[in-house]
Each structure stands twice: as C-alpha cells, then as structure tokens.
Amino acid sequence: MNNLISFIEKNKEKHLEELFEFLRIPSISSVPDNALHVRECALWLLENIKNSGIEDCRIFETEGHPIVYGQWLGAGDSAPTVLIYGHYDVQPVDPIELWKTKPFEPSIRNGKIYARGSSDDKGQVFTHIKAIESHLSTFGRLPINIKLLIEGEEECGSNHLEDFIKDNKELLRCDTVLVSDTEWFAEGLPSICYSLRGISYIEVFVTGPNRDLHSGTFGGAVDNPIFVLANMIAKLKDEYGRIQIPGFYDDVLELTIEEREGFKKLPFSEKEYCDDLEVDGVNGEFGYTTLERTWARPSLDINGFNGGYIGEGAKTVLPSTASAKISMRLVPHQNYYDISEKITKYLMSIAPPTVKVKVNTLHGGNPVLVPRDSCGVKAAMLALESAFGTKPVFMREGGSIPIVSTFLSELESPTVLMGLGLPSDNIHSPNESFAIDNFYGGIKSSAIFFDEYSKICKTD
C-alpha cells in the first residue's frame, strides 16, 4: 500500500500535466459545430487510458459523440467488477467575457485548477484513470476487475448512452457502478451522495404575426409573442413557489423526518450562501429549507429566453416569435417522460388563441435514490476517510446524472457516488475550478477504494 501511495506522490506533476492536456481540448458537446473537438478529446482519452496500462480499450461510435470504453479483467471471475462511469464532454463557456483566464487554457491560482471541465467532469474521472495506472505500475495488477465507461454527451443529455447500455448489458455487467461527478458538502468535508435530482428540459416557441411588425403601427391590436410567453411563464409558479403544472407533484416522494434532521446537522449557513451569490435572500417553495429545496424538492427554471431585438440601442419592433428554454429538476419518484408531457399539455392549455405554440423536449433523465448500506458505499467511506483524513457525510444533490437511473434499471447494479467537487467549483459557470488537493487526494481515494472494495465486496 505504501508503494502505491508513494507512486502517486512521485507522479503528482506528471498526472497534473496530463490533466492539463485533457482540459485544453474544448469538448463542448451541446454545440453541433464543435463535434470534431469532442472526437479529438475522446481519442486523447483513449490514448491516455492505453498508456495507463489498460490495453483492452476502444472507441464506440454513436449517432452523437463517441463513447470511450476500457476494461481490465485480470482479477478473474472470482473477483468483483466495478464499472467506472464519467464524461469527457463539457458545458459551453459563455459568457466568455467573465472568465479571468481562458476556459481552455488551464491555470492554477490559490490551490485551484481553473478551466472548463476541471471539476465537471474531466478532473474527477481522470483521478480513477491515474489510480488504475498507479495500481498497475506498482503491482502489475488490480485487486478487482475494472470497466471504464466515459461518454461525451453528458452535458447535452446523454442521448445515446442509454441505448448503448441496453445493447451492451453483457459487456458492461458489473457489481457496482462508481461515479465521481458530484460535490462535497463543503471544503474539507468528504461526502457520499445518495440521491440525485432528475431533469426534464424543454423548449417552447411562440409565434404571433408572420413577420416582425412596427410596434407603432400595430402595437395595441396584435398580441406580442414576448408578452404572451412572459405571461405563460408567469403562470408556471404561484407566489408560494409551487409549480402550477397539473399533476406535477403527484409522484414526489416526501422527505423522511430522519433526512430532514440529517440535513439540519450539516454545516450550512444561509447568510454565507447568500453572501457568496450576492443576493439579499433565498426564495423558493414555501415550507422548505434551502437544502430541502435544492436536494429533495422539484424545481423549475427558465434557462434561456429569446425574443425580438436584443442588440444595442432601440428597435421599435413587435416581433413575430419568442422562445424559452425551460428545465425542471425532478425528485424520486417523478418520471421525466410524464413531466415533459404534463408541462407541454399545460403550456398549450394556457396559450391564447392568437398565437401558435410549439414545445420540443430537449432531454430528460429520471431522479435517483441509491442504497446507503451497500458494500460499495462502505468501501467508499473508508477510502475517502483514509485519503482525506475526515469521516465522510451523507448528502443529496440537486444536479442530475440522468444515466445513473439507467444503470440501476438496466445493469441492476447499485451506484456509488464518490464525488470530489466543491460547492465553490463554479461548474456550468465562468471560472470553473477544481481543487488540486481533491485531484491528488482523489487519485489516492480511488486507489484505496479498489483495495477496500476487493476486501469488503465479495462476489456471491
């Protein structure tokens, strides 16, 4: 074990340099024009996995961005198998002008690696690859069988991974799925996440007149699509923050008293939360705390609104169209197909007859609740504690990793969410970062996890 840790220590710089190479590739997956960069990133990753000692690796093409797969099965059938899932694609970078340093030119400031994807998810998934390399270089083997499944479409809905999993159940068969794509509750407080929110993401288009009109000539007699859409959006929630879509809360699993107690024990300061965001207060569903609202209650956000003239100066136009991107975060046991249908029906029902409304479902994923008592979770608790010197806490997360629910349903494998991010990482925002200590510590905790897992989790 000491040899393993000292190998990791010795290779710190090399591992960081490799991560920087990984981060320099602008693998934004939601912009079709950027597909070549995403592929470039997949090929770089494949090469790195091979160089890390996993020769049995390859690219799986999809109708979208490629999937990177690798496996080391040298521990034999008697040993358990862990499937490590992550993604190499990243979020868009706009508003670009708010980045202190360029999003794809990684740089280090006060102990943090700044770059798009540093925390979500390149930095996190890369710790496992380096942990595997450390085992193989030190012992020539791993204590368990490992499978790597790293996709390039997580930030645009994992549109093709679900089918891939359904079509490759045998290839992907495993005892546990290990995912590092979540956050710690706080800096210095390792955390195991046991629930993720799902998502339903739609786009609504409102069309009024067949052309842009002069707001002087027509204003007052013709419905304005922006005004109409704003009105429809205003009808999505009431003044208590309750979402007004009929049947929206039907399948919501209420929090247990134990969970609410647990949340209250966590070191959370609403004042610090607001100060960090520079807002004068939080606001959300009446009757719930901030942690409950973001972890265990569904939410609805307008992610984008576009209509009329948004350039400099004034244009007196009554626009022909307006559109909005709307996403809802879902909690157990809501289903995203069901919710997407319900919001579509509702939007249609509240649209005035003077406009045409079209709703597109952009993507979705179901919420997840994972067992807290699996042997995988136990191994993760031990690994994090010995790597970071602090006992981990249990938490939920407001974000979504849609595919995790597919692992449960298709592979029937429990998932362990052993995240390494920090709340201050600014994922999906300008100046995304990843703490260097969590990168190095993450390589250790992953390496130790393999060891602990091999002891605790025997195959039956």
CB of 232 to a second copy, least distance (A): 8
Task: Report the residue number, 142 or 343, with the smaller CB distance to a second copy.
Answer: 343
- Helix 436-456 / helix 375-388 crossing angle, nearest 10 deg: 140
Task: Report the residue number, 77 or 278, with the smaller CB distance to a second copy.
Answer: 278
CB of 52 to a second copy, least distance (A): 30
Catalytic residue among 120, 153, 154, 181: 154
DSSP-derived pairing of the beta strands 145-151 and 321-330: unpaired
**Cβ within 8 Å of residue 431, ≥6 positions away:** 98, 99, 100, 114
CB of 175 to a second copy, least distance (A): 28
CB of 203 to a second copy, least distance (A): 8
Catalytic residue among 89, 120, 133, 151: 89
Task: Report the residue number, 122 or 130, with the smaller CB distance to a second copy.
Answer: 122
Task: Report the residue number, 219 or 389, with the smaller CB distance to a second copy.
Answer: 219
Q: What does the alpha-carbon distance between residue 318 and residue 253 come to, in Å, rounded to a whole number?
A: 44
Q: What is the DSSP letter of 108?
A: E
CA distances from 415 to 174, 200, 238 (A): 10, 22, 36
Q: What does the alpha-carbon distance between residue 217 and residue 200 come to, in Å, rounded to a whole number?
A: 40
CB of 411 to a second copy, least distance (A): 23
Active site residue 412: no
Task: Report the residue number, 79 or 199, with the smaller CB distance to a second copy.
Answer: 199
CB of 84 to a second copy, least distance (A): 22
The answer to whether 72 and 132 have CB atoms below 8 angstroms apart is: yes
| Long-range interactions of 288-297: CB distance < 8 A, separation 24+ | 289/263, 289/264, 291/263, 291/266, 292/255, 292/260, 292/263, 294/398, 295/195, 295/197, 295/263, 295/395, 295/396, 295/397, 295/398, 296/195, 296/255, 296/259, 296/331, 296/396, 297/252, 297/331
Q: What does the alpha-carbon distance between residue 27 and residue 90 come to, in Å, rounded to a whole number?
A: 6
> Across the strands, what pairs with 147?
71, 83
* Phi, psi torsion values for 287, nearest 5 degrees: 95, 5
Phi-psi region at 109: left, alpha or beta (left = phi > 0; alpha = psi -120 to 50): beta
Cα distance from N-terminal residue to C-terminal residue, the chain: 26
Task: Report the residue number, 138 or 426, with the smaller CB distance to a second copy.
Answer: 426
CB of 350 to a second copy, least distance (A): 12
Task: Report the residue number, 137 or 431, with the smaller CB distance to a second copy.
Answer: 431
Active site residue 89: yes
Residues noted as catalytic: 89, 154
